[in-house]
Structure 1
């Protein structure tokens, strides 16, 4: 009996040991499983944290880039705004009437010496422009360049801007520049307009031609944005030349022409730049002024002012002698009388102010009287020569009852002959017309206001 009890106890103890061993095994396996799960969970958490960190870094970098771009854009805008304000302060101001205006400097070639050929070339241009004729040039004279047209300014066309040097010309009304497909030598030696590089170019396609002494400049009409003096004119019609024959424009100091006359003399009746400035509200006062300086050692030859008559920097005053325009085409007015010294040479006649002419052209009868009084020697080619040391009496132009006096020493100019000698000639030449053409020699002494709104011209003595 006792043995049975002992055996039973042994079985019970063994069973208990077996059960406890299994429980410990299950417990250890569970612990390992939990540990693995914890490690996996921690690993996933770490990966998520790393991924979030990387995403955060990318977002932070992107945010920093955006901030930098915003800061750079703000700086650029600030610089643009600052430059625009400076430009506005320089080129645009408000007068008491609230009108705005802008100025552009005229360039003048330093130490330029005219030749007799220069002058003869200029006379050919003037004769064709006004339908007159001069005394015939001698057979040996060759028209080789137009360097006599010295006063130029800057103009742009297109978007982005293409820059050109142009001759501001009150004796014509069209704008033209050399074209990309023009094969003439004159085009190849100057800046050429490229239509495909402008996003604001508009093709018109109508053929264009304008007569000059050596032939017609030919081309086609187009429209584009024109910029001058900080002002912008939309859809300005201009000509792109396809042919500039001969040698007339090869050595010219300008690429093209900026016409400042009335629309009535515009080829194809194209609206002029000043007309468009007025109609588009670019300038609120429909007028402009030109002041020319006499050169010397300065490369600046004066100024054109669009939208204002304030020429006080060149005249010391804003008091003008005004006279009505007698014919709206050229800037034409009544010249009441003309004197050399105290001698009256002529009575009432018509006169035209022309910034594109380097001489003063008088009717031939008046021309001969002037030469007799000042004692110069007329040549067969239409000049009147004298010694540079010769004293010349003052010239007086009477306009609207006021005397506009020019000292005699400013009525002669130094030129180089074909033989290389330096002589002086009178700035007055002869033309077979019944009116005067007052070019640069007159405008160098009198700032001229061209008032298109009231159709009048004003003169103020330059200082």
Structure 2
């Protein structure tokens, strides 16, 4: 039987389709004759000792705050075409997880804070779309248990299975249910028992896709989606991967995760589990309580929004919210405010250049005032479409090059309300975000981006360079403006 989408509370958000080495203090020898002859040496030694102690303390504090697991993310660019011309790119960030035992099967997934379930394509899915991806095979896993939507065990060869249909923006996934061992890092020789599982592993209910629509899944390289919305976004906490990890209450696994988006393709983006990563922060973390966490979204209250010196009246009644969504490429704005925001953020470019990257052309700041006095500011670099638009008047033959914002209109819905913003990739690249599962709050800090790509490992004090892949990267050179005739 096919369960209605609403039963699983899928995301209504539009989707496209994440330690300093302690320095040795060494041995300090007491040379009394030298000290008596050169009193300044005593001061220098004391100062050096104090600096070393402070460095060691800072390193120890950083180590104590370090997350349990850090997963580097691959990046894929997917071109968006208009009149057979590339006008923009959708992007996806995904990392590798492991499922099954005793030999785990590895899959790439989008870590999505805007949805609540974990799905992977199954070998039962025979469509070309599914075959483009790695498919999970329950027959070679000793820990796989076939279940119904309530989590009750059923026969693997049952003639009738519960199914669910989940919408993901322009596409849909239909699947059955299985209970399985999932790990964030690779571990061999695991058993079906929950006893003795490593801290980054847990038992969880998974949606095994038997059907996947061609759009958007045929164009993306990742295999599935791991929902990281709050557990109330799932039909049952048993479907929430992070809820199950937190429920194990492992000592070195904090109930939070952090998300870092790199602004340079030579440096991998990352998601950390079991704590956020202070190495990725260029400012102090500011926390904002989740608004109505029972809805399952990582949403925060927006007190006001302004462009330059103009404050929009949209949020004056206190009903605006913003959802931190790692599964959305763009900045989402309420549809009723989209036209006004586009107008305020558009800029005329003098002298009509033949090539320009609008991210480098100045514009007004877009400022979000959140609860608790937290201000999030996006500049033209973050909100602009790279490609300009050239408007040509048919009658006068005059033309004007214009830089525009890249905004996603968000329709009102029962889940999100009338005035919902989506803090997608533009905001998540500028700000490192942390998600506190226990306290139900979202943290924002300016992201610490490496100054020079070739020095990234040294700048971030990464012991081992993290492997990642970039797929379909666009040309570096700025494009000619797209032409619109009016």
Instruction: Give TM-score scaled by structure 1 length.
Output: 0.64
1:314 corresponds to 2:280:
yes
| Structure 2 partner of 1:401 | 373
Structure with more of its chain in helix, by fraction:
1
**Aligned residues of 1:113 and 1:416 also touching (Cα < 8 A):** no
1:154 corresponds to 2:122:
no
**Aligned residues of 1:374 and 1:392 also touching (Cα < 8 A):** yes
Q: CA separation in 1, counterparts of 2:210 and 2:178?
A: 13
> Higher mean Cα deviation, 280-289 or 328-337?
280-289
**Aligned residues of 1:450 and 1:458 also touching (Cα < 8 A):** yes
Find 2:69's aligned residue among 92, 95, 102.
102
Structure ranking higher on relative contact order (CA contacts 8 Å, 6+ apart): 2
CA distances 1:178-205 after superposition (whole Å, capped 9, x unpaired): 1002012211000000111111111114
**Residues 99 and 212 of structure 1: is their aligned pair in 2 closer, same or farther, counting only changes over 3 Å?**
closer
Find 2:139's aligned residue among 193, 196, 210.
196
Describe the SS at the equivalent of 1:371. helix
Question: Please, which runs of 5 or more residues in structure 2 have no aligned partner?
Answer: 1-59, 149-161, 187-198, 349-355, 390-400, 413-418, 449-486
Counterparts of 1:354-369 in structure 2, within 5 Å, are: 354-369=325-340
Q: CA separation in 1, counterparts of 2:335 and 2:74?
A: 32
Find 2:344's aligned residue among 373, 379, 382.
373
Question: Please, which runs of 5 or more residues in structure 1 have no aligned partner?
Answer: 1-92, 118-139, 378-384
**Aligned residues of 2:74 and 2:95 also touching (Cα < 8 A):** yes
1:334 corresponds to 2:276:
no
**Residues 415 and 330 of structure 1: is their aligned pair in 2 closer, same or farther, counting only changes over 3 Å?**
farther
1:207 corresponds to 2:163:
yes
| Structure 2 partner of 1:26 | none
Describe the SS at the equivalent of 2:92. coil
Q: CA separation in 2, counterparts of 1:284 and 1:188?
A: 36
Q: CA deviation at 1:245?
A: 2.3
Q: CA separation in 1, counterparts of 2:170 and 2:375?
A: 38
Computed over aligned residues only, the root mean square deviation of the Cα atoms, in angstroms, reads: 3.2
**Aligned residues of 2:65 and 2:278 also touching (Cα < 8 A):** no
Find 2:407's aligned residue among 418, 428, 437.
428
1:217 corresponds to 2:173:
yes
Q: CA separation in 2, counterparts of 1:364 and 1:320?
A: 31
**Residues 275 and 415 of structure 1: is their aligned pair in 2 closer, same or farther, counting only changes over 3 Å?**
farther
| Structure 1 partner of 2:230 | 262
Q: CA separation in 2, counterparts of 1:203 and 1:196?
A: 11
**Residues 192 and 424 of structure 1: is their aligned pair in 2 closer, same or farther, counting only changes over 3 Å?**
farther
CA distances 1:335-368 after superposition (whole Å, capped 9, x unpaired): 1211212221243411111000001111123222
Q: CA separation in 1, counterparts of 2:106 and 2:61?
A: 28
Find 1:392's aligned residue among 345, 354, 363.
363
Describe the SS at the equivalent of 2:136. coil
1:323 corresponds to 2:316:
no
Q: CA separation in 2, counterparts of 1:255 and 1:218?
A: 14
Instruction: Give TM-score scaled by structure 2 length.
Output: 0.62
Find 1:286's aligned residue among 255, 259, 277.
255
* Bigger Cα Rg: 1
Q: CA separation in 2, counterparts of 1:158 and 1:103?
A: 21
| Structure 2 partner of 1:226 | 182
Counterparts of 1:105-144 in structure 2, within 5 Å, are: 105-109=72-76, 112=77, 114-116=79-81
> Higher mean Cα deviation, 228-237 or 332-341?
228-237
Q: CA separation in 1, counterparts of 2:69 and 2:61?
A: 10
Find 2:217's aligned residue among 249, 270, 284.
249
Describe the SS at the equivalent of 1:444. helix
Q: CA deviation at 1:220?
A: 0.7
| Structure 2 partner of 1:439 | 424
**Residues 239 and 147 of structure 1: is their aligned pair in 2 closer, same or farther, counting only changes over 3 Å?**
farther
1:240 corresponds to 2:240:
no
CA distances 1:83-108 after superposition (whole Å, capped 9, x unpaired): xxxxxxxxxx9978799622111222
